[in-house]
Structure 1
Amino acid sequence: MDIDRGVARVSDYLARVTGLNDRYRAGAVHAYVPDALRDSERSLEELVEEHLPTSHAALSAASRSLFLSLPVAFDPSESVGPYLAAADRDATGQPYRFLDMGALIATQPFGENDPAVAAAILESLPFVTSRYAHSEYQTVLSLRLKAALNRIAPAGTPRHFVVNTGAEAVENAIKSVLLNRVMTSEDGDGGFIVSFEGAFHGRTLGSLAVTHRKKARLGFPTFDWPHILFPFEHLSAPKETVRREERSLKQLWDLLVSGRLPRADKSKDTYKREVDAIDEFLAAPDQDVTAFVQAQRAHLSPDVVRRSRRVAAVLVEPIQGEGGVRFASASFMRKLRLLTRIYDVPLVFDEVQTGWGMTGRLWAHELFGLPCPPDVVTWAKKAQNGVLFVSEELATFFQEEKKFNTTWEGDSVGMVRLLAVLDKLDLDCVQRTGERARRGLDAIARDYREIVKNVRGVGVMLAFDVVRADWSDALRDRAFRRGLILLPAGERAVRFYPRYDTEPSAIDEALAILRAAIDDLVGGRVATEPASAPKIRVGTLNIPLDTIELVDIAPAGFEAHKQEVLLVEQERYGAAVPYPPDVLRAGRRPLLQFPLETLEATAANPQAIGLAARDRVSGRLVGYVLGSALENHDEEGIGLDPRFGENNTFYLQAMAISPTVQNQIELQDLLLDALRGRAMAAGFEFLSALIEEQLRDSGPEWLRRAVILERIDNYLRSGIPFTYLQVQLTEPAGP
C-alpha cells in the first residue's frame, strides 16, 4: 500500500514537472512575491514573518542550527527553470516564486525540475536509496561516472579523482603537488604554493592557506604561503593592466629564483631576459614548446633550480568568482604557463566555479590559448560533487594506498544528476544566453551610469560593480523584495548568472526587476546635468586647536567611540544635509554617508589607522579620519591605482569634520598631519584617497602635492566634485 501511494505521488510529480516546464518554456511563469515585501520602511525579516509565514516557521524551527541564508524556505517541487518556489502560497494556493540569477551559487547549469534529471533520478532509485562508500565499494553508477569523465577531462590532465566538494578537490590538489615535491626533491621539503591576491579556494585549512580574501581567512591559523598580485584586466586602461601584469610576473619570478630563501640573486636583467624570450616565443606561432622550455632551462644555474623546487605549485582561478568576477588577460595567462613550465613548477587551475561550460568554453582556461596545458584542474559546483583532474606525472602519487582517500568519493545522487545532463551541454546556447543578458546589463549601465559600472563577463558568468560597496546589500535587498535573487562577489560586484538554457523571457524579466530595484533606491535615472553642491551650514564653534585631544580609534578603540564617530559622519554627510533632490541614497541614508558596518569593518583590520578629534571643553568628538592598507578596499578609483599590489600605500577611506565647527580647515589639517605621521610610522610610503576636491586645495602643503588620478564631478549625485588622488608621504627628494 505504501508503495502504491509512492507510485501515485511520483506520477503526480512527473505530471506537475511536465506542466511546469511547458508553462515556463511558453513564458507563462514569472516572479511572484507578496507586494507588501516592497515596504522599505520595514525590515525584510519582519515582512517575511508576516507575509511568508510558512518560510518563517520553518526557519524559526531550525534556528538552533548555525547557518546564514536567504530568509525564505524554498519548495523544489514547484520550482522550474530559474524560478524558485517558496514554501508559502497565496490565498488561491499558488506558490510564490523568486527569479534566481545566482544559479544556486553557480551550481546549476540548467533549470529546476529539468525533465531529463527527473527521469534519471527515477531510473536510478537503487543508487539513491543506499549511499555506497565508493572508496571500497564501487558501483555500476560510480564507474559510469568515471568513464564519462574521460570524455570531458581537460587536455593534459587525463587522470581524475572524485571527491565530495570543491574545497576537497582543492585540498587534494594541494596534497598532490606537495607530495610531488617531497618525493622528487633532494631535501624532501614539500615547499610552498603560490596563489593570488583576491583568490578564494575554499574554507578548509589547506584551501584557506591559498585563499586571500580577509573575511574568509581572518582568525584561522594556516600555512604561511605567499600570494602575488592578480592583474585583473581593465579594458579602459590597457597600460595599467600591462603594468599590473609585469609586477605580478616579477613577484612570481622572485619567488621562483629565491624559493623564499635568503641571499638569492634577483637580477632585474636576468628577469628581463627571460620575459623577453617568452614574449618573443609567444609572438611567433607554431614553435616547439618543448624545445623552447628545454633551451630556457639550460640557462638556469643549479642553485636556482634547487631553490625553485621549493615552489610546489602556482594555483590560480581562470576567473576570480568569489573575489569579484575578475578577469586576467589571455596574454598574462600564457606567460604564466610558460614561466611555470620553464621552472618545472606545476600550474593548477581552480575551475570549481568556472568549469564545464559556464564561460562558453568547456573549461575556462581554454579561453587563453595556453602554449601547453595545465598540470592540475579542479572542478565542482556543476559537477554536483568534486573532481580533481591531474597529469599522468602527478597521477603516480595517487597509486599509493590510502594517501588520497575519501570515504564516499562522491554522492550517488549528484552522480545521477551530472550524468543526466552531460550530453545536454550546448556551448552555442550558453553564448546566446550570455549575450542577451550582457546586452541588458550594458543598457542598464548606460541608463544608470553613476550607479552601475564595469559590466563584464563571458558566457553566462556575468557581473557588474555598484558605485560603493555598501550599496551592494541595499540593491540586492530591493531586488529580493521584488522577487529577484542576486548574489554578491568581492566588495562591490553583483553577480548575474543565468542558467545555460534560460528562456529569453526570464532574462528580460530579471533585467526589468533589476531596473525597478535601482529606481526604488535612487528614484529615477541619472540627471544629464550635475546638480549644484549642497550648502553646508555655517559652524557655530571656533575650537582652539590647543583644546583638541587626538584619540586613536583603530585598530583598537573603535568600539568605545563608534557612536560618536557615526554622529560626526551623519552630521557631515547624513540626511539633514541639503543635497540635490536626486542624490543617491540607500533607503533614507545618502550614499555619501558611510554606514557604521563599513567603518567597523575597516577599523577591525590590523593595518587600520584611525584618529578622532575630541573637544576637551564640550567633551564630544568633532572630527575623525579612518583607513587602512589600499589592498583592503574596493572603492571607486582603486582598481586603477598604480600602487595597488605593492602593499606600501595607505588608503584614507573616511574623513568627516562636524559642520558645527567654524575652523574646519585648521581641524582638518591637524587630523591629516597626525594621520600622515601614523601612516609613515607604520611603514606606508604613499597615501591614496577619494575625497572632496576642495580638501586637496585647502589641505596641508604635503597633500597639495598629490597627483589627481581621477575626477568625478557629481559624485553619487551629491553635487560635490570628488577626486581620487595619491601623494608620497615623505618629502620628495631635491633636484
Structure 2
Amino acid sequence: MRAGVRASTMRASPMAIRPMASATTPKKATAAAAMQQQPPTEMFDQPFFPDEPYGPIVRTSIPGPESKKAIAHLDKVFDTRSLNMMANYTKSLGNYIADLDGNVLLDVYAQIASIPVGYSNPSLLLASTSPAMASAMINRPALGNFPQHDWAEILETGVLRVAPPGMNQVFTAQAGSDANELAYKAAFMWKRSQERGGADVPFTEEEMSSSMNNALPGSPHMSIMSFATGFHGRLFGSLSTTRSKPIHKLDIPAFDWPQAPFPALKYPLEQHIEENKAEEQRCLDEAERVMTTYHNPVAGIVIEPVQSEGGDNHASPAFFRGLREITKKHNILMIVDEVQTGVGATGKFWAHEHWNLQHPPDMVTFSKKAQTAGYYFGNDELRPNKPYRQFNTWMGDPARAILFRAIIDEIERLDLVRNTAETGAYLFSGLENLAQRFPGEVLNLRGKGQGTFIAWDSPRRDEVLKKAKGVGINIGGSGERAVRLRPMLIFQKKHADIFLEGMEKVFSS
C-alpha cells in the first residue's frame, strides 16, 4: 500500500446527518462463527463509520409503497426498466443504503462498484464544500485550451500520486467508456506513427483528404483485440470490444475487430491445476494467432484483470504475464481496463499489481471508484504528435479530480487497501464454509486472494438477488448466473458476518 497516515476512528462528522435508527446488533453469523476467527488486526477492529446502523432494517417489501410512488413519478420522464431500487441518499451512510420506506440495506454492490469510501463520507463532504471545489464546479474549464492555474498540482497530488508502476502521465476523461476509447485512439496514433517513420514525419495530402471520406490511407484498417465475455463500455469503439451480452450490442454498427478466448477455469483451482494450465495456454496460443493473422492488423489489446460484467471470470497471473510477453514480442500495445477492478478493490491499489509483470502495461484505464476517469501511461510516444488529436471540450473534470484526491487521502488515512485484503480473506473463508454446507447454492466460488472481488455461480441467481433484499442485503449479479460482491473499501469483518448470516438465510429458504 502506498504510504499514508493511519487513524483508528473516523473524523468527527462535519455533516448535519442525524444517525439513522439502528436495528438490534445481530448475532455473529453462524457461517462466520463456524470458521476459525482471525486475531484482531490493529485499527480494523474499530468502525470507520461509528454512526452507521448496527445492521440492516427491513420494514416493507422492496420496493415499498413510497418507493413505488416515486418510481411511477420518475417513469413518466425517465426510463426505469433497469431500476434496482429507489434510494434515499440523504439517509444512506457508510456501508448502508436507504430507501424511501425506511428500509436500510447493507450494500455490497455499491453503485456497480463505484462507491469507494462509504455513503455520506464526511471527509469527502469537506472536499466537496471547499473553495477549490466550488471554483471547479462553477467555472468548469475547457482543460485543453484554458486549464486552471493549479491543474498540474491537482493531478500530481491526486490522480498521479497513485499512478500504476511504470507510469507518470495521465489523460483525463469523463467515464470508463470514454477512457477506453481514448486509449484505443492513442494506440492507433502510435502504431501509424511507427509505420509512417516517426512522429516528425508529416501527414500526406492523400492521408488528410481520404480521412474525410473514412477511407484509406487516412482511415487505416486497424483493430483493437478484446476477449470473449469481456466488457469495456457502450460507446462505439468500446462497444466494439465489449463481448459480454447481446443486449449491449444489438442494432449498433460495430468495427471489424477481433476477439480471443478468455480462460474458462475450473474450480476449486487447487483441484484442476493441470486442466487450467492447459486452458490458459490454449487461450494464449489463440490470442497470439489472432494478433498476428487478423486481416485488420491489431494495434493493441484490451483486457480486464477480472471480467466483471461478463460473469466475474478470473485468470492466473501467469496467463497475464504470458499475454504481456506476446504483446511485447509483436510490438502490440497492452491496455489494461481497470475501470472496475482499480482503486483498492482487489487488495492491491491496481489489480494488475497481482501479476508481477516484468514489463508494465502500456496503458491502464480507470474510473468508477476514482469518481473520475482516464488512462495512465509512461511512454512519451503515446502522446499524439499534434495538438487537438486527443481533445474534447472538457478533457476531464477538475472537480472530480479533486474528489479523487480526497478519496486517495481517505484510503491512505484508514489503510483501506490492506483492510480490503484482510476483510476479503475473512469473507472468502466464510463463503467457503457456506459452499460446503450449501453445495447446490454456491458453485465455482472464486476471487481468493483478490480482496473482496469475490463471486460465485448460482443456479437460481435472480431469485437469490431478490431474496437478499428481503434479509437486508443489496447485492448484484453479472453474466448469466454469477452473484458478484462489490462492497466498499470500508467493508469490515462485522459487515462480512452480517452478509454471511443473510446469505445463510437465503440459501436455507
TM range (shorter): 0.7 to 0.9
Matching residue within 365, 368, 371 for 1:378: 365
Per-residue CA deviations over 1:148-195 (Å, capped at 9, x if unaligned) read: 322221223322111110000000011111122222225773511111
**1:394, CA displacement in angstroms?**
3.8
Corresponding position of 1:401? 387
SS at match of 2:349: coil
| Aligned-partner Cα distance in 2 for 1:66–1:16 | 31
Q: Is the 8 A contact 2:159 2:405 kept in 1?
A: no
Aligned counterpart in structure 2 of residue 74 of structure 1, from 84, 87, 98: 87
Matched, 1:14 2:1: no
In the alignment, which residue of structure 1 is the partner of 2:200?
none
1:132 to 1:461, Cα distance in 2 relative to 1, 3 A: same
Q: Offset at 1:71?
A: 4.9
Q: Could you say which residue in structure 2 is the equivalent of 1:472?
A: 461
Q: Residue 321 of structure 1 corresponds to which residue in structure 2?
A: 308
The amino acid of 1:61's aligned partner reads: H
Matched, 1:197 2:204: no
Letter in 1 for 2:457: D
Pair 1:432 & 2:422 matched: yes
| Contact 2:454 2:484 (C-alpha < 8 Å) held by counterparts | yes
Q: Does 1:492 align with 2:472?
A: no
The residue identity in structure 2 corresponding to 1:59 is: I
How do 1:24-423 residues align onto structure 2 when only pairs under 5 Å count? 24-25=49-50, 28-34=53-59, 36-37=60-61, 48=63, 51-53=64-66, 55-63=67-75, 64-88=77-101, 95-123=102-130, 124-139=133-148, 142-147=151-156, 148-185=158-195, 189-215=220-246, 216-234=248-266, 235=269, 236-260=271-295, 310-397=297-384, 400-423=386-409
Kept in 1: contact 2:224–2:298 (CA 8 A): yes
Letter of the 2:95 counterpart: P
Q: What letter matches 1:250 in structure 2?
A: D
Residue 577 of structure 1 corresponds to which residue in structure 2? none
Matched residues in 1 for 2:85 and 2:505: separation?
21
Aligned partners of 1:72, 1:254: CA distance in 2, in Å? 45
Alpha-carbon distance in structure 2 between the residues aligned to 1:494 and 1:312: 34
Q: Which amino acid aligns with 2:73?
A: A
* Structure 2 CA distance for aligned equivalents of residues 77 and 413 of structure 1: 21
CA distance in 1, matches of 2:192, 2:258: 19
CA distance in 1, matches of 2:97, 2:55: 10
The total of aligned residue pairs comes to 439
Name the CA distance, whole Å, in 1 between partners of 2:53 and 2:249. 44
The Cα shift of 1:145 comes to 3.0
Give the secondary structure class of the aligned counterpart of 1:131. coil
Stretch moving more, 113-122 or 71-80: 71-80
User: How far is the alpha carbon of 1:27 from its aligned partner?
Assistant: 6.9
Matches of 2:393 and 2:430, distance apart in 1: 46
Deviation at 1:204, TM superposition (A): 0.6
Cα distance in 2 for partners of 1:368, 1:119 equals 36
Shift of 1:197: 0.7
Per-residue deviation at 1:260?
Answer: 2.9
User: 2:491 is matched with which residue: 480, 498, 502?
Assistant: 502
Distance 1:96 1:157, change over 3 A: same
The runs of at least 4 consecutive aligned structure 1 residues that moved more than 4 Å come to 17-24
Query: Aligned equivalents of 1:482 and 1:140: distance in 2?
Result: 51
The answer on whether the counterparts of 2:20 and 2:52 sit within 8 Å (CA) in structure 1 is: no
Asked if the contact 2:108–2:474 (Cα under 8 Å) also holds between the matched residues in 1, the reply is: yes
Provide the rounded CA distance (Å) in 2 between the counterparts of 1:394 and 1:323: 33
Q: TM-score, normalised by structure 1?
A: 0.57
**CA 1:415–1:257: 2 relative to 1, 3 Å:** closer
Shift of 1:137: 3.0
1: CA distance, partners of 2:387 / 2:273: 50
Q: Are the aligned partners of 2:445 and 2:456 in contact in 1 as well (CA < 8 Å)? A: yes
Q: Distance in 2 between matches of 1:172 and 1:253?
A: 24
In 2, Cα distance between equivalents of 1:411 and 1:58: 31
1:447 aligns with 2:448: no
Work out the percentage of aligned pairs sharing the same amino acid: 29
Separation of aligned partners in 2, 1:31 and 1:475: 17
Partner amino acid, structure 2, of 1:428: R
Conserved 8 A contact 1:103-1:498 = yes
| AA aligned opposite 2:244 | R
SS in 1 for 2:97: strand
Letter matched to residue 408 of structure 1: W
Whether 1:481 and 2:470 are equivalent positions in the alignment is yes
Distance 1:140 1:413 in 2: 14
Deviation at 1:407, TM superposition (A): 2.0
Matched AA of 1:212: R
Distance of 1:396 and 1:127 partners within structure 2? 26
Aligned 8 A contact 1:169 1:387 in 2: yes
Q: Mark the structure with the bigger radius of gyration.
A: 1
Offset of 1:324 from its aligned partner? 1.4
What SS does the corresponding residue of 1:315 show, helix, strand or coil? strand
Question: What is the root-mean-square deviation of aligned Cα atoms in Å?
Answer: 2.5
Alpha-carbon distance in 2 for matches of 1:394, 1:446: 52
Change in 2 beyond 3 A, CA 1:17/1:325: farther
Secondary structure at the aligned position of 1:87 is classed as coil
Task: State the secondary structure of the residue aligned to 2:489.
Answer: coil
Contact 2:123–2:410 under 8 Å retained in 1 = no
Query: Separation in 2 of the partners of 1:326 and 1:108?
Result: 22
The offset of 1:479, in angstroms, is 0.8
Distance 1:141 1:321, change over 3 A: farther
Spell out, residue by residue over 1:312-351, the C-alpha distance to the aligned partner (whole angstroms, 9 max, x if none). 0111111111111111111111111111101111111111
Shift of the 413–256 alpha-carbon distance from structure 1 to 2, 3 Å rule, reads: closer
Work out whether residues 164 and 409 of structure 1, in 8 Å CA contact, stay in contact via their aligned partners in 2: yes
CA distance 1:503–1:140, change in 2 (3 Å): farther
Q: Separation in 2 of the partners of 1:56 and 1:472?
A: 24
**8 A contact 2:300–2:335 mirrored in 1:** yes
Residues 69 and 140 of structure 1: CA distance in aligned 2, closer, same or farther (over 3 Å): farther
The AA in structure 2 aligned to 1:110 is: V
The DSSP-based 3-state class of the residue aligned with 2:225 is strand
1:37-58: per-residue Cα shift (whole Å, max 9, x none)? 2xxxxxx6xxx3xx331x2222
The 3-state SS of whatever aligns with 1:162 is: strand
Q: Deviations over 1:615-674 (max 9, x none)?
A: xxxxxxxxxxxxxxxxxxxxxxxxxxxxxxxxxxxxxxxxxxxxxxxxxxxxxxxxxxxx
Q: Does structure 2 retain, via aligned residues, the 8 Å contact 1:56–1:72?
A: no
Residue type matched to 1:62 in 2? L
C-alpha displacement at 1:474, in angstroms?
A: 0.8
Q: CA deviation at 1:390?
A: 2.1
Alpha-carbon distance in structure 1 between the residues aligned to 2:486 and 2:79: 27
Distance in 2 separating the partners of 1:490 and 1:213? 7
Q: How does 1:599-614 map to 2 (within 5 A)?
A: none
Structure with higher RCO (Cα < 8 A, 6+ apart): 2
C-alpha distance in structure 1 between counterparts of 2:96 and 2:288, whole Å: 48
Cα distance between partner residues in 1 of 2:347 and 2:427? 14
Partner amino acid, structure 2, of 1:198 = T
SS state at 2:90 partner:
helix
